[in-house]
Amino acid sequence: MKKHLAVIMLAVFMMVLAGCGGKKIDAPVVGDWKLSTVEAMGQTMTVEDFAALTGSDVEMKISIKDNGTFSANFEGESGEGKWEYEEPTITLKDDTDTLTGEYKDGKITLSIDEGGESYSMTFEK
């Protein structure tokens, strides 16, 4: 009898441990995103047009993971942090900054205010 009880307790213990894995978040924002358009000074431009105008490489990517974290690469600089999503708002936070955006029609648009200038960046999968 003791042997059977020990086996049952071991099985329950293993199930509890298996259930302790990270919880996956099912949200439409999960995935890999690439910058597609930039809105600045009242104009919306493709990434290629914006790069030509500024004379720089404007490759920007965000990878939003189902464990609540994200990684980003903006013009060669990388970072990571945590994200939250409450339809339609997505919030990306790292140690120093918080960016808020909107998920709509399969796109994420992040709004940025910097030095008195406002612009937005739209990302697509």
Distance CA 53, CA 37 (A): 13
**Mean pLDDT to the nearest integer, 99-115:** 91
Task: Summarize the chain as % helix, strand, coil (round to 5).
Answer: 20, 50, 30
21 has a pLDDT exceeding 80: no
20 has a pLDDT exceeding 60: no
- What tens digit of pLDDT does each residue of 30-89 get? 999 999 998 987 889 888 887 787 777 778 899 999 999 999 987 778 889 999 999 999
**Mean pLDDT to the nearest integer, 109-116:** 85
What is the band of 17 on the pLDDT scale with cuts at 50, 70, 90? very low
